[in-house]
Amino acid sequence: MGKKFFYNAMIVNEGTCAMGSVLVYDNIIVKIVYIDEGAAAYNDFVHEAQEQGAEIIFCQGMLLMPGVIDDHVHFRDPGLTHKADMESESAAAAAGGVTTFFDMPNTKPQTVSIDDLNEKFRHAAECSHVNYSFFFGATNSNTEMLKQLDKKKVCGVKVFMGSSTGNMLVDNYESLKTIFKESPLPIMTHCEDTEIIDANMAEYKSHHGEDPDVKFHPEIRSVEACLKSTELAVKLARETGARLHVAHITTADELELIPKSKAALNGNGEEKFENITAEACVSHLMFNDADYQTLGTRIKCNPAIKGEQHQKALQKALFDGRIAVVGTDHAPHLLSEKEGGCAKAVSGMPMLQFSLVSMLDLMTTLCNNDRQQAAIQTTRLMCHNPASLFGIRRRGYIRVGYKADFVIVREAEWTLKQGDIISKCGWSPLEGRKFHHQVYATYCNGNKVFDIKQGVDRSCIGEAVSFDR
């Protein structure tokens, strides 16, 4: 590892985007100096790095951001590794500037026991190219295990409220209440009401046959189904004081239930979160129901991508504190599994590898072409807030004493081709799309795990992140 000097970067951190340099010893940031601190101080810093024999990484004209922390991925490992696995998807993460991921429990076996959870950590320590933690899956019958979870190591408890793929549905009100009362960890919920969805599906099948066209997906997995389930989650959180993080909000209606977080006025510049927070996913921010026409089941996911008014509401909520975090819900499947309509095609799409560049492009539009502001807001939602919200120890910010997890991004125009895709499933709903940002290199724990010329360094292995709780 040794010493590395990230020289003349546009450092994006804590509400600013300014030219400076960063010195790293092994895996820790030891010094940061900005050009506007004065030429003398800056030149001294450059000389200091040179005298110490630090490897110089020229970042002129490029953004240096904290590595992205994705709080919502499905790596399909163990048990579903024909479509994705820990090694392949963590490599895709590295190529996308993602240095930490939180993986979901709907694998085979499901992560619903302490042994299965420990096994995931053991497997990741062998083959994950970036940093990781794992959600524990709550069920109707494993609530007594919640107290045994290691708060310093496990990111949270995932609760499928209402329907989802896999058989981890918690539909018993008493179990739900027990989970909300007793979870020592943040609870992340998938909110969709099964009864509404089942009734809608029966209705659509009666009119459109056994496998209704995918364009009906947002009508079957409807706004009402999302709202009813999210209402219940918010109500339970208020009654029990639980720390609730609602996954992948998709409707303007649900946003009404989410309190706004507040950026701290003084002090460390970290956002102050209420007990109830929400995540939006890149796919729901980028697409709306008009895209089913061209992309079909490629963009079929649960909860469904809905109408443009909901997409616009989600985009607005990125700026007013209601959406605290942007994740991906990276959920790879083989294209062959995506054949059919609402009933037959599986739900979920790969998004992890291109989430950062997608968000930088989208933010540039939402920020009226103010590129610095776009980088600042993207960093807030994809790096700082996931770290602060979950209490990740010493990551997510470019600060002295923090781990050297970085992504270097350059402005470049490029078109996504199938050959760019590292995810095992080998396709992306973004193929053919033109991007204006490109991941140039990714550093994880001070190691260069990806650069644009050499690709992913598969000898790099990440760490389990720890939590200050």
Residues that bind Zn ion (CB under 5 A): 329
Q: Which is nearer to Zn ion, 159 or 223 (CB)?
A: 159
How many other C-beta atoms lie within 10 A of the C-beta of residue 15? Answer: 13
Using alpha carbons only, what angle is made at residue 329 by residues 377 and 188, rounded to the nearest 5 degrees? Answer: 90
| 65 contacts 379 by C-beta, under 8 angstroms | yes
Asked if residue 350 has a cis previous peptide bond (ω within 30° of 0), the answer is no
Single out the residue of 98, 53, 89 nearest to residue 71, CA to CA: 98
Report, in Å, the least distance between residue 354 CB and Zn ion.
17
Q: Which residues contact 75 (CB under 8 A, 6 or more apart)?
A: 84, 85, 86, 89, 90, 101, 103, 107, 330
Report, in Å, the least distance between residue 331 CB and Zn ion.
6
Alpha-carbon distance values, 95 to 74, 89, 161, 412, 451 (Å): 17, 10, 33, 16, 8
Q: Which is nearer to Zn ion, 16 or 165 (CB)?
A: 165
Asked if residue 78 has a cis previous peptide bond (ω within 30° of 0), the answer is yes
Report, in Å, the least distance between residue 106 CB and Zn ion.
8
Report, in Å, the least distance between residue 264 CB and Zn ion.
30
Report, in Å, the least distance between residue 74 CB and Zn ion.
6
Q: Which residues contact 403 (CB under 8 A, 6 or more apart)?
A: 27, 28, 29, 394, 395, 445, 446
Q: Which is nearer to Zn ion, 323 or 398 (CB)?
A: 323
b (16+ CB within 10 A) / e for 357-396:
bbbbbbbbebbeeebebbbbbbbbbbbbbbbbbbbbebbb
Q: Which is nearer to Zn ion, 63 or 179 (CB)?
A: 179
Q: Which is nearer to Zn ion, 329 or 451 (CB)?
A: 329
Written as one letter, the residue type at 75 is F
Q: Which is nearer to Zn ion, 250 or 379 (CB)?
A: 250
Phi, psi of 348 (to 5 degrees): 125, 150
User: Cβ-closest residue to Zn ion?
Assistant: 329
How many other C-beta atoms lie within 10 A of the C-beta of residue 119? Answer: 15
Q: Which is nearer to Zn ion, 62 or 331 (CB)?
A: 331
CA 44 distance to own-chain centroid: 38
Q: Which is nearer to Zn ion, 192 or 329 (CB)?
A: 329
Report, in Å, the least distance between residue 353 CB and Zn ion.
17
Report, in Å, the least distance between residue 20 CB and Zn ion.
37
Report, in Å, the least distance between residue 188 CB and Zn ion.
9
How many other C-beta atoms lie within 10 A of the C-beta of residue 275? Answer: 15
